[in-house]
Amino acid sequence: MQSLKIAVFDGDGIGPEITEPAMKIVDRVARDAQVRLDFEVLPSGAGHYRDHGESLPESSVAAARAADAILLSAMGLPDVRYPDGTEIVPQIELRFILGLYAGVRPVKLLPGQQSPLKIPDGKTLDFILIRESTEGLFARMNEGTVTEDEAQETLVITRGVSEKLFDFAFRLARQRKAKGYPGRVTCVDKANVFRAFAFMRKIFHERAALNPDLVADTAYVDAMALWMVQRPWEFDVMVTENMFGDILSDLGAGLMGGLGMAPSADIGDGHAVFQPCHGTAPDIAGQGIANPLAMILSGAMMLEWLAMDKDTPALSEAAGRVETAVSKVLTERIIVTPDLGGWASTSDLARAVEAAL
Ligand code: ATP
């Protein structure tokens, strides 16, 4: 049996509550696909900082680097901060350390999954938002200057990362086109106002020219916020700067029924982290009512990525089984957590997914 090493950051707040069932489900379908996943839970996070003075120990980074993939829940606690008052966000630091430039945020409705939007017959929500995750307005995170009268932050767009990011977007659109999607990449920016975005757009067009089999177009971020609500079914793959992507991905999560439903991946050259779009939800932590589906679906995304990275198609089938099981539970809508309008606990919902498998 093939075996793969999975580094796990179970995090803070609701993190451990949703990580345990997700690991169990992913482990089960992988085993059925003849792949053993060796999980290693690594110390990190705001709680670890409070108790041990370190938020992301070197040994955890080394273990994550050595792993075949990384599964992460969420980190940070509102009352635990660094001495300068900033939040503890090792998940963002990991993106920089491992060069995870492509934040993949699928905005997809599984059968049975409800959207607050009224979706016309014959249409569905099924696009992917790619958020650049290592530069943009986050490039100089924690280095902004603040005086009594003025605050300044810096936005950085580099040619190197932009080229890799756009190439990633075009590759993904091509893979989707092979499955029947339109093969379209939309660059979302604010090129009409900022030079940095005009620079980014120019690089987008250069990379688009190398991919003539795909459709490439552009949109301003404010218009995209409108279109994501008015006609989101028209999009295939979108690619954007870090801060714009941060905001639009929460809008996307809202379209999918909330943060508890939105999985994601942060992918670089050789490393990948899979985690739900949501944070540690301190307001409901410890109550056993967090929705584990975003975490479980992030695990499915991990299997899909490993299927490609390790050339093991059985893992893609395993990922599909998880999606189908989640979809079945959502269609029945008997056992769902309070964020989805139900009364079930985290473990009830996770058990329902297991039963559906
Ligand atoms: P971050 O800044 O780390 O992204 P945040 O403070 O923006 O975090 P979250 O921790 O994601 O926000 O929580 C936002 C809201 O969504 C909270 O009310 C929280 O309870 C809810 N929420 C987040 N994740 C879940 C989940 N898995 N299940 C149920 N509710 C959730």
Nearest of 3, 21, 12 to residue 344 by alpha carbon? 21
Q: How far is the CA of 250 from the centre of ligand 1 (A)?
A: 10
Torsion over CA of 119, 175, 244 and 111, rounded to 10 degrees?
30
Bridge partners, residue 145, by sequence: 152
Residue type present at position 300: A
> Is the CB of residue 283 below 6 angstroms from any atom belonging to ligand 1?
yes
> Is the CB of residue 15 below 6 angstroms from any atom belonging to ligand 1?
no
| Residue nearest (by alpha carbon) to ligand 1 atom 8 | 279
Residue type present at position 50: R
Model confidence pLDDT, tens digit, residues 290-313? 999 999 999 999 999 999 999 999
At residue 85, the 3 state secondary structure works out as coil
> Is the CB of residue 294 below 6 angstroms from any atom belonging to ligand 1?
yes
Copy the structure tokens of residue 56.
């992301």
| Residue nearest (by alpha carbon) to ligand 1 atom 17 | 281
| Residue nearest (by alpha carbon) to ligand 1 atom 6 | 279
Q: Check whether 86 has a pLDDT greater than 90.
A: no
Nearest of 68, 10, 73, 16 to residue 42 by alpha carbon? 10
Question: What average pLDDT does the segment 3-31 reach?
Answer: 98
Q: Which of 18, 256, 278, 337 to mutate to test the pocket of ligand 1 (most atoms within 8 A of CB)?
A: 278
pLDDT at residue 333, as a whole number: 86
Model confidence pLDDT, tens digit, residues 110-169? 888 899 999 999 999 999 999 999 999 999 988 899 999 999 999 999 999 999 999 999
Q: Check whether 188 has a pLDDT greater than 90.
A: yes
